[in-house]
Amino acid sequence: MNKKISIIGAILGLIAIVLGAFAAHGLKELISESALRTFETGVKYQMYHAIFLLFVGNSTLLNTKLKGIIFYLVIFGVVCFSGSIYGLATNQLWSFNFKTIGFITPIGGLLFIMAWGLLIYGFLKKN
């Protein structure tokens, strides 16, 4: 499980860098400055949680079950939070209206909060 968590964390980090570069160079001319800042927020939170997974995957302070729960909370959090932000920021470029699924952004944020809360719980539980 540790290897899987670390690999997925590294992949999320790589994707965040690619998306950040794409936003800075490819989207700059296509969306507004405000939308670009919104997109960058999604990239930042994805990168924060990529690093978070690298930490979780390599931590000896958490048991395997807790690591697994945190892993899935972060994965679904990135999809809901960052994914919806990417869609909302580039909404004008698509035929699909991402505003109809904008309600999943705070759900992703809640999943992030739960993951961090479980990390704290795991630290407090460790003797």
How confident is the model over 7-63, as pLDDT tens digits? 999 999 999 999 999 998 988 888 888 989 999 999 999 999 999 999 999 999 999
The 3-state DSSP class for residue 94 equals: coil
* Domain tally, the chain: 1
Residues 36 and 27: beta-carbon distance below 8 Å: yes
Tokens of 116: 């961090």
Domain housing 44:
2-125
DSSP state of 60: S
- Distance of alpha carbon 111 from alpha carbon 33, whole angstroms: 28
Q: What's the pTM?
A: 0.90
Rg (CA), the chain: 16
